Chain A
């Protein structure tokens, strides 16, 4: 089976390269047969990468320890779901997964564009297949998941204990769907530049793909943060680690692109912005893969090291240079069709949005690569810690949040001062009220007195948008109150899906701000009967409990909890020894609620029966996960095909006739 898998990959590599070249020649020379051949090559490459993927999964499931990859990442005692998740655990397998996703997306692009975008699609397919050829080339010649060992092992080394968690089943594939998904809008942008069709066609072809990739990249980042929070045992969910940053960076520029494309579609502006943003986004996806899989930066998350990282950086550099060259060539054709009429307009808002998101991206990227860039300096490399990112990113993200609130208050092109004042009255009034309430409750921190009222302003602006829409539907369409809101949202999914996303972001922001500003912690060594106070909790150590499973030895510290002086159950942080790997991980004692999390870690177990305990009270952390779900729901609503798009053709036919009758009259 492994041999079949490797042969399939080798043929797929040749086919991908052929499809890239054939598609490009076909569209330039108008050879329909060559384009058909290229399309068949895409389908064949998809079939063969699927065969190779199935072969690897089969080898994993049957625990074929004659293969190096299977032996390095699985063992007989590993559960089947985690065994299959080893597909993306290691470098070779994850590159195969990347390649398979690329091939699948190329096939979907062909299906979606059977009858539309027929001039752009061959160029886009050429770009996608060229990138696929690159990845398959690495798999075939450098990172072969079917490499055989000199002899078959009796058992494998097993999966890293930190990865033996259900997060392994969904975090990596979700992130990869995001990373790989951005290849399609990038390919269409390059198709526009190569073909000279630099109007809005490429945006229409890529809008839903952009949402898809943005949704999954955002979900992947949140799932990773949650996994880190529940497993790593340091009390936090985001450490500004290079791999974490690498997942955030393309999401930031992707967010800018999602908004900026609306301006081009309506007014023919921001054309250069949009090409630059999607190029930056996809380049950062490659950078993210290089950091995670290529080990070019030191990170607790980086899973591999070797030449792959630099190969990906090389690809990223080549694509960047090619994109810039094409952009330069088409610059005269990318002139804006209109100019910004007014600073107080949605277009201007989106312009500031682009600038701030790019500034945040540059700052975070700089902090991330600084150690590598300064490696060769006489004094050694320079590193920055979390405080750098918090100081830089915090104010920028707050500015983004304020812009989010302004957006529904102002219209396209311009808004009169009177209308702005009328729209802004309620949200602006809410902000100082919230500030006053916080002050009355004893909050004195300037960042808190700034951030939370700003979030309240945005929430009020978004909710007001829904209220006005519902009111318009009740008055204009006669909808009942119960049905007006769902019908409103469904009548304009991109607009109101976007507002739902904004509300989700506010919930996330409230959780993040509360955590960073008000988290408390305490630590100590406790003998049985001794207590540790943290926040309004007191933890009393009752004793140790030991148990074992097939693969692990677990020591749990039983702690009774009192909250505000009243008994409040128990919590039991653990120390988990994975026998096969001789590795110890933390089993976090976590009690989650809407108001706060009680988070307890067993740091050490002394021979005298005393234990080292660290405890955190993390306010409103659950709001981050809840906000994430709301964001994703909003993105899914915006992604759903709009009935108006499908009926547009029918509606237009009638309107066309009326318009032509009017013009002839």
Chain B
């Protein structure tokens, strides 16, 4: 009985693992295509830029930044975010 179960396990497992190699094409698209690296990096920088803007607003409301400091940093972060969005738009077009 144990031997039968062991053989069955082996057959099922190797079938599951070997199937994509025997019937190619099922894994197409599972790895990122060329050029995706640049888009992913920009998307991450975009997320971080907006997280920085939100945190800046939080720090300002807590009184950790003066109005002048807030305006200066806010303008800088938003310029950065706009640059990233333009780069993204250029790639996606």
Contact B47 A648 (CB under 8 A): yes
Interface string of B29-65 (1 = CB under 8 A from A): 1111000110011001011101110100011011111
Given A33-B24, A34-B21, A118 and B31 touching (CB < 8 A)?
yes
Q: A15 to B16, alpha carbons, bound, how many Å?
A: 11
Contact A18 B17 (CB under 8 A): yes
Contact B21 A37 (CB under 8 A): yes
B75 within 8 A of A: no
**How many residue-residue contacts, CB under 8 A, span A and B?**
132
Output the least CB separation between B26 and chain A (Å): 6
- Which residues of the partner chain B approach A40 to less than 8 Å between Cβ atoms? 16-17, 19-20
- Which residues of the partner chain A approach B20 to less than 8 Å between Cβ atoms? 33-34, 36-37, 40
Output the least CB separation between A489 and chain B (Å): 13
Is the interface on chain B under 10, 10 to 19, 20 to 34, or 35 or more residues?
35 or more
Q: Which of A88-130 contact B (CB under 8 A)?
A: 118-119, 122
- Which residues of the partner chain A approach B81 to less than 8 Å between Cβ atoms? 655, 659
- Which residues of the partner chain B approach A469 to less than 8 Å between Cβ atoms? 62
Given A32-B28, A32-B31, A37-B18, A4 and B6 touching (CB < 8 A)?
yes
Contact B46 A652 (CB under 8 A): yes
Contact B85 A656 (CB under 8 A): yes
Output the least CB separation between B85 and chain A (Å): 5
Q: Which of B26, B47, B85 contacts A659 (CB 8 A)?
A: B85
Please name the residue on chain B nearest to A30 by beta carbon.
Answer: B31
- Which residues of the partner chain B approach A197 to less than 8 Å between Cβ atoms? 37, 41
Query: Most A CB atoms within 10 A — which of B13, B18, B66?
Result: B13
Q: A411 to B69, alpha carbons, bound, how many Å?
A: 12
- Which residues of the partner chain A approach B66 to less than 8 Å between Cβ atoms? 416, 419
Q: Which of B72-93 contact A (CB under 8 A)?
A: 78, 81-82, 85-86, 89
Contact A44 B17 (CB under 8 A): yes
Q: A656 to B84, alpha carbons, bound, how many Å?
A: 10
- Of A199-207, A298-306, A505-513, which binds chain B? A199-207
Contact A659 B82 (CB under 8 A): yes
Q: Which of A36, A48, A199 contacts B9 (CB 8 A)?
A: A48
- Which residues of the partner chain A approach B25 to less than 8 Å between Cβ atoms? 33
Contact A119 B40 (CB under 8 A): yes
Given A411-B65, A468-B63, A651-B50, A44 and B16 touching (CB < 8 A)?
yes
Is the interface on chain A under 10, 10 to 19, 20 to 34, or 35 or more residues?
35 or more
Query: Most B CB atoms within 10 A — which of A122, A265, A644, A656?
Result: A656
- Which residues of the partner chain A approach B47 to less than 8 Å between Cβ atoms? 648, 652
- Which residues of the partner chain B approach A44 to less than 8 Å between Cβ atoms? 13, 16-17
- Which residues of the partner chain A approach B21 to less than 8 Å between Cβ atoms? 33-34, 37
Q: Which of B27, B36, B51 contacts A36 (CB 8 A)?
A: B27
Query: Most A CB atoms within 10 A — which of B26, B36, B37, B85?
Result: B85
Contact A33 B26 (CB under 8 A): yes
- Which residues of the partner chain B approach A47 to less than 8 Å between Cβ atoms? 13
- Which residues of the partner chain A approach B17 to less than 8 Å between Cβ atoms? 15, 18, 37, 40-41, 44
Contact A34 B27 (CB under 8 A): yes
A3 within 8 A of B: yes
Please name the residue on chain A nearest to B13 by beta carbon.
Answer: A44
Contact A48 B82 (CB under 8 A): no
Query: Most A CB atoms within 10 A — which of B9, B24, B37, B82?
Result: B9
Given A35-B31, A37-B18, A204 and B26 touching (CB < 8 A)?
no
Contact A27 B31 (CB under 8 A): yes
Given A36-B20, A40-B16, A118 and B26 touching (CB < 8 A)?
no
Output the least CB separation between A156 and chain B (Å): 23
Q: Which of B3, B27, B50, B82 contacts A32 (CB 8 A)?
A: B27
Given A34-B20, A201-B44, A15 and B36 touching (CB < 8 A)?
no
Given A8-B9, A11-B9, A44-B13, A36 and B85 touching (CB < 8 A)?
no
A residues with CB within 8 A of B: 1, 3-4, 7-8, 11, 15, 18, 26-27, 30-37, 39-41, 43-44, 47-48, 51, 118-119, 122, 197, 199-201, 204, 265-266, 411-412, 415-416, 419, 423, 468-469, 472, 476, 492, 495, 644, 648, 651-652, 655-656, 659-660, 662-663
Report, nearest first, the 4 A-B pairs whose CB atoms are least far apart.
Answer: A32-B27, A36-B27, A33-B27, A7-B6
